[in-house]
Structure 1
Amino acid sequence: MRKGPAVLLVVVLVIVAGIGVVVWQAVNKPKPGCIVSGDREITLSIEQAEYAATIAAVGYSEGLPEHAVTVALATALQESGLRNLQGGDRDSAGLFQQRPSQGWGTHAQVTDPVYAATAFYRVLREQPDWQDISVTEAAQVVQRSAFPEAYAQWEPQARSIAMALTGQSQAALRCQDVPLRVPGDDVATVAARELGTAKLSGPQPQQRGWAIASWLVAHSARFGLDTVTYDGRTWTSDSGKWTSTGTPDGQLSLHRATSAQ
């Protein structure tokens, strides 16, 4: 009995099967990104999550309520898709498409996310009834858009993101398959500018602790963070999930990767 052709056929089938597995793994491998849990899951790119976290952090550091952060996020979602655009309609630029010719600042300033968010909140707070009007109305009094109703479509997403990033929703933001930068930016320096504090470890009040922990996860690629732990729960860049790892204790900690992933 000639076994040569049969053996060859088996080898070919094994090779084809192996290629199929590799292709399936490549197609089904999770893409880098972040997910916000809430009434429904919201998917953000790493870039969008970073900018959303910065917008929320600036508002939170200024003592503004979740409503203000929701207004800012809904505006940025509509105006730029949570991207720091270098241009736009006429001289508009940045997350909020602010116009230097309208007194918002220089092009360099409005494309600085911290400056842009600070400027947005400043104008919002100048409105006497901003806390009592809808997200759409509040966004419009700041932006003076030609499409004032456009912000309404983003309110549900913006509110869920705001609740996650201000710590009202616990462990509600997670990022997966994060391309860590090693060495990353100095986390304490950036935290001091955005969050108003460089204290990123030790005991934290619950809402503030979750706000900082979520900010760290959202910026994990930028800072090269592979682990963030708060109140007995840990997020890792490997799993992309929050898991229970201890007794709730209000303690915050982080770990920076030593090599890129």
Structure 2
Amino acid sequence: MSETRDPRPRRRRPFRMAVGLLVLIAVIGYFAVQRYSNGGMGAPYCTATATGAGSAGQDTVQSYEMSPEQAANAATIAAVGIAKGLPDRAVTIALATAMQESALRNLDHGDRDSLGLFQQRPSQGWGTPEQIMDPVYSAGIFYDRLVEIKGYTRLPLTVAAQKVQLSGFPQAYAKHETDATVVTAAFGENGTRATLACSGPAPSAPGDPAKVKAALERAFGKAALHEVRDGAPGGRSAPGRIREAEVSVRLKPDGGPAEARLGRAMAHWAVAQGRELGIARVSYGTSAWIAGKDGDAWKSKGGSGAKDGDGDPHNSGPGEVRIFVAR
């Protein structure tokens, strides 16, 4: 006579699955609370969001999430390309390359003597280790070599990137093209339907307007800063009641789409650099971003000259980027 199996072990499987599901939900809930609780005061992060970017449908919304470090490096890469007057396609190629080579981190190590955002090698003529570890320099020399490639804007991204990088895995760049296109849209010509916003609390320590101005000049070039006012007193930021100083960049009058693109790039660059430079809020045109407020998103203020909750002018004119630094 055969031995009868105890059916109880079978009944435990649904129980174990239920327990596992509850644990998973708890973990997801924990990280959600960390991120969204206390008005966005959890772990800082940045998100590029674009509608209809690249080959996506006109109403398709895409997003790409980054750490503040990654966002700051992406902003620098975009800024250098835009300051050189290069098209969005060049910025997308550069961003996709850096996403693959370093995950947008300024690495001090790599294969053999590779370094930095693009894993460039001093032994291959890319510059000294100190130069390559400077994101502005490394982005600049990448673009310099990219534009030497005839018809690079019409080439598949993998081909254009490979001609610059000479990578052992050229097809790896392709998987980053969509994300790089979304990030590019936040800075480039599609910027009116795309934004970069960063979460986190308002700055708890003062920033330095002179450092903000110097960083702007390094990323975009002195010629791009047509007229700058720095150190002018602002008001008080609504979230933390922190006193502010203002760095205001007035764009060239009648600069057309290129100057508008530059203004959007500067505004989003300031958001990405906010944590490092103590930036409390940014205003461009009729939209504004405030650290630790409004779900960390850009918000329309209803027209130039609108005021925030403290009664301070919060919007800039169409030809001005206003950066408010905690003090």
Q: Taking structure 1 as the reference length, what is the TM-score of the superposition?
A: 0.84
Aligned in 2, Cα 1:236/1:123: closer, same or farther, shift over 3 Å?
same
Aligned residues: 237
Does the aligned pair in 2 maintain the 1:173–1:218 contact within 8 Å?
yes
Given candidates 154, 163, 179, the residue that maps to 1:132 is: 154
**Equivalent position to 2:322, from 246, 250, 253:** 253
Corresponding residue of 1:237: 291
Q: Counterparts of 1:216 and 1:237 in 2: how far apart (Å)?
A: 11
- Contact 1:83/1:94 (CA < 8 Å) preserved in 2? yes
Q: Which moved more, 1:183-192 or 1:32-41?
A: 183-192
Aligned counterparts of 1:80 and 1:245: Cα–Cα separation in 2: 38
Residue 105 (structure 2) pairs with residue 83 (structure 1) = yes
CA distance in 1, matches of 2:32, 2:189: 37
2:236 paired with 1:182: no
**In structure 1, what is the equivalent of residue 165 of structure 2?**
143
**Shift in Å at residue 182 of structure 1?**
2.5
SS of equivalent to 2:299:
strand
Task: Spell out, residue by residue over 1:40-82, the C-alpha distance to the aligned partner (whole angstroms, 9 max, x if none).
Answer: 2211100000000000000111111000000000000000000
Structure 2: give runs of 5+ residues left out of the alignment: 1-29, 51-60, 229-247, 253-258, 305-316
Query: CA–CA distance in 1 between the matches of 2:250 and 2:145?
Result: 35
Per-residue CA distance 1:79-104 (angstroms, 9 max, x = gap): 00000000100000000000011111
**Residue segments in structure 1 that go unaligned for 5+ positions in a row:** 1-21
Q: 2:249 aligns with which of 175, 198, 201?
A: 201
CA distance in 1, matches of 2:303, 2:141: 41
> Which of 216, 225, 243 is residue 270 of structure 2 equivalent to?
216
Would you say the 8 A contact 2:88–2:189 is kept in 1? Answer: no
Q: Name the % identity.
A: 40
Bigger shift: 242-251 or 211-220? 242-251
Q: Distance in 2 between matches of 1:201 and 1:103?
A: 36
CA distance in 1 between partners of 2:80 and 2:198 (Å)? 21
Work out the CA distance in 2 between the residues paired with 1:147 and 1:175. Answer: 32
- TM-fit CA distance, 1:206: 2.8
Q: Which whole-Å CA distance do the structure 2 matches of 1:183 and 1:70 have between them?
A: 31
Letter in 2 for 1:172: T
| More displaced 10-residue stretch of structure 1: 178-187 or 68-77 | 178-187
Q: 1:105 to 1:26 in 2, by over 3 A?
A: closer
- Whichever residue aligns with residue 201 of structure 1, its letter is V
Hey, what does 1:32 align to over in structure 2?
44
Rounded to whole Å, the distance in 1 between the matches of 2:270 and 2:31 is 33
8 Å contact 1:32–1:179 — kept in the other structure?
Answer: no
> 1:137–1:223: structure 2 CA closer, same or farther, 3 Å change rule?
same
Contact 1:167 1:211 in 2 (8 A): no
- Partners of 2:31 and 2:120 in 1: CA distance: 44
Query: Counterparts of 2:33 and 2:166 in 1: how far apart (Å)?
Result: 48
TM-score, scaled to structure 2 = 0.68
**2:180 corresponds to:** 158
Task: State which drifts further: 164-173 or 49-58.
Answer: 164-173
Q: Aligned to 1:201, what secondary structure does the other structure show?
A: strand
What SS does the aligned partner of 1:85 have? coil
**Contact 1:220–1:226 (Cα < 8 Å) also in 2:** yes
Distance 1:255 1:155 in 2: 33
Cα RMSD (Å) of the superposition?
Answer: 2.2
Cα distance in 1 for residues equivalent to 2:154 and 2:31: 53
Structure 2 counterpart of 1:81, one-letter code: A
Contact 2:35 2:44 in 1 (8 A): no
Q: Encode CA deviations 1:171-210: one digit per residue, 9 max, x unaligned.
A: 5110110573523471111111111233443356432221
AA matched with 2:289 = W
The one-letter code of the counterpart of 1:36 is A
Tell me which of 85, 89, 92 is aligned to 1:67: 89
